[in-house]
Structure formats: C-alpha cells, structure tokens
Amino acid sequence: MHQSSRRPWWPEVIVLLAVSITAAWVVNFGRPQPLPWWADYRAGKVEETARKGLGVVEPSVARALLAAGKHLFVDARTPEEFAAGRIPGAVNIPAEALLTGIEDAVGGIKPETPMIIYCGNLACPKSKELAEGLKAIGFANLAVMPEGLEGWRAVGGPVEAR
C-alpha cells in the first residue's frame, strides 16, 4: 500500500491571496484616478447631487433654516410615509408625481420659493429625482438634504405625524 503525503492547501491560498491583493493595489495605484479603497457613501451622494446643479444641505443646517422659516420643506416620499412622520410644516410632493403630472402636484408653489427636498435616508433617490424634475419646470432655488428624515432625526430634528 502506498500512502501519499499530502501537503496542506492553506499556504498556497494565502500566497495566492497576497499576490492578488498586491497586484490590485499596484494596478489601482497606477490609474490616473484610483478607485477608493473605502467608499464614502455620503460624499458620493453629495457629489452626484451637486453635479446636477442642485444645492446640498446638511441636516444640522436644515434645522437652522427651519427655525428661520424662510424655506419650504418638501417630502418626496409616498403619502403614507409622509403621514407616518415628517419635518414640521413640510409639504408632500411624492417623487411619483414626476410620472403623473408634476405641475399639478406643486399646486400654487411659486418657482422662486426656496425649497429643501428630502426623502427617507441616504439610500433614497427620490429627493434628488424630485429636485431634478422641479428644476426642469423652472424651480431654481432648490437644495437636497441627502440624509433625509433619518439624518434629520439623527441631529435631533423634530418630527410630526398625522
């Protein structure tokens, strides 16, 4: 009977993994615009919004703007989400209104009205989409709060519900 001596497999896997990581680092380092090793999700959302020509407001700044009373807060979520909790005084213009008639949804809001548009959280695209739609029909003084209601709550912002 012949017994074969088996080598452990894990040293080869470790070497292969080390070579792969090193190669990825070298290739990435050589790129004109290297890919980030760790993504800053908020920064990406802010940059994306700014590229669209829209303003960006942090929740802490938005709290001060609410207190000043000069901005209209617009909730881009569904009517059900709006009813469950919203920034005090906010109006609901669901992003879905872009498909059903945005002009009807804005009602008597004047195009020069300064607005802060928000939705649920950083992962929610509705505020940016609604802001783009409003900009397309002539609204100019628009800002998006990318963190949404979740970010608002995180900085201690008041929330009202029906």
Summarised one tens digit per residue, pLDDT across range 40-96 is: 777 888 888 888 889 999 999 999 999 999 999 999 999 999 999 999 999 999 999
d(CA 71, CA 55): 13
| Residue 162 confidence (pLDDT) above 80 | no
**What percent of the chain clears pLDDT 90, i.e. is strictly above it?**
67
d(CA 63, CA 60): 5
d(CA 35, CA 140): 34
The pLDDT-based confidence of 155 (bands split at 50, 70, 90) is very high
Q: Is the Cβ–Cβ distance between 148 and 124 less than 8 Å?
A: yes
| Residue 1 confidence (pLDDT) above 80 | no
Q: What is the pLDDT of residue 139?
A: 94
| Residue 17 confidence (pLDDT) above 90 | yes
Pick the CATH number of 41-154 from 3.90.950.20, 3.40.250.10, 3.40.640.10, 3.30.420.130: 3.40.250.10
| Residue 144 confidence (pLDDT) above 90 | yes
Q: What is the pLDDT of residue 43?
A: 84
Summarised one tens digit per residue, pLDDT across range 118-138 is: 999 998 999 999 999 999 999
This model's pTM is above 0.85: no
The pLDDT-based confidence of 23 (bands split at 50, 70, 90) is very high
Which parts of the chain are beta strand (E)? 55-56, 72-75, 91-92, 115-118, 142-144
